Amino acid sequence: MSNVYDNILDLIGNTPLIKLNRVTESIPASVYAKIESVNPGHSTKDRIALHIIEQAEKKGILKPGATIVETTSGNTGFSIAMVSIIKGYKCILSVSDKTKPEKIAYLKALGATVFVCPASVPADDPRSYYEVAKRIARETPNSIYINQYFNELNIDAHYNTTGPEIWEQTQGKITHLIACTGTGGTLSGSAKFLKEKNPNIKIIGVDADGSILKTYHETKSINEEEIHSYQIEGLGKNLIPSALLFDLIDEFVRVDDENSAYRTREIALKEGIMAGYTSGAATQALLQYAREYAFKESDVVVVIFPDHGSRYISKVYSDEWMKEQGFVNEPLHSYDDVCKTEYIK
């Protein structure tokens, strides 16, 4: 039988490249989005969840009935919860209070226990979602802490899958890879593979306004004055994850909440792709980078779209949320500017 699978985990990986046309019409290069939302957990984090858990099983670290603990902005949690269901493990997750209620509901629907922690505290504060996850792992018998920010298997998952897929899909013609950096595993693992194939491929990391990663890449020092809260989930950090291989990254582009939000909405309206907030951030970084770098027609650019827009319906896809943030500087102020809702009585 064809197109038949033993379980949902068999669907992880082999995601498509889709050419971007209208959003990138000002760029002469061929630009493709790597659509990670077609993974069964709807994000690129499916890859690391499956790889890290299966490696733990092979090493005998995971025992029957074990509990898997992790820190997450949402997507890794979805993936771990999904894998845990199939493999018979319990799942405990800590998230920041930036996480929208529907994401928490999604995690709970997949059987996860969720701890919501303040996002505004330092990473080493006992209330931070990093430290809460560590404490829970210490206090829970027969448990493991995934620790995606400092787990080399995060890199390996993308070195083994995402990088080779992109190389094969572009027939080795890729010239630029652009991806958001949170844990750093997606970009680092993909970059490691692609640089081995062709060291001239430009690797562009995307950082958030309010994060320390871009400055650390440039100066090897942390500027704590740059740290402030921001709305983009899963992008940037106030600590330095070891899963982010800075020496493989040629340049960082920093993006802000507002432009990234409007870019996310534009992707949906112009390309028909319901992408997540970080996909808009990555596309915004592409357009900012294009102002400084003269792309050629022969260039082949791949932008990783990490997750699905359904997780941001009450955020970037909500006119009310956009107004609450004061995002009014773009021509598209509201969906009512381009489409209407009519109620028939």
List Cα–Cα distances, 18 to 189, 261, 297, 301, 308, in angstroms: 21, 21, 17, 11, 14
Beta-carbon contacts of residue 337 (< 8 Å; ≥ 6 apart): 331
Q: How far apart are CA 49 and CA 183, in angstroms?
A: 13
Contact 33, 46 (CB under 8 A): no
- What pTM was computed for the model? 0.92
Two domains, one topology: 8-38+162-325 and 45-148? yes
Beta-carbon contacts of residue 91 (< 8 Å; ≥ 6 apart): 67, 68, 69, 70, 77, 80, 81, 84, 110, 111, 112, 113
Give the other-Cβ count within 10 Å of 45's Cβ.
31
Looking at the annotation, which residues are catalytic?
Answer: 45
Q: Per residue of the chain (345 residues), what is the pLDDT tens digit? A: 778 999 999 999 999 999 999 999 999 999 999 999 999 999 999 999 999 999 999 999 898 899 999 988 778 999 999 999 999 999 999 998 878 788 899 999 999 999 999 988 888 899 999 899 999 999 999 999 988 888 899 999 999 999 999 999 999 999 999 999 988 999 999 999 999 999 999 999 999 999 999 999 999 999 988 999 898 988 998 889 888 999 999 999 999 999 999 999 999 999 999 999 999 999 999 999 999 898 999 999 999 999 999 989 999 999 999 999 998 765 555 666 666 677 777
Q: Is 247 helix (H, G, I), strand (E, B) or coil?
A: helix
DSSP string covering 184-203: SHHHHHHHHHHHHH-TTSEE
Q: Which CATH number fits domain 45-148: 3.50.50.60, 3.40.50.150, 3.40.50.1100, 1.10.3470.10?
A: 3.40.50.1100
Domain range 8-38+162-325, CATH architecture: 3-Layer(aba) Sandwich (3.40)
Q: How far apart are CA 112 and CA 67, in angstroms?
A: 10
The full set of domain ranges for the chain reads 8-38+162-325, 45-148
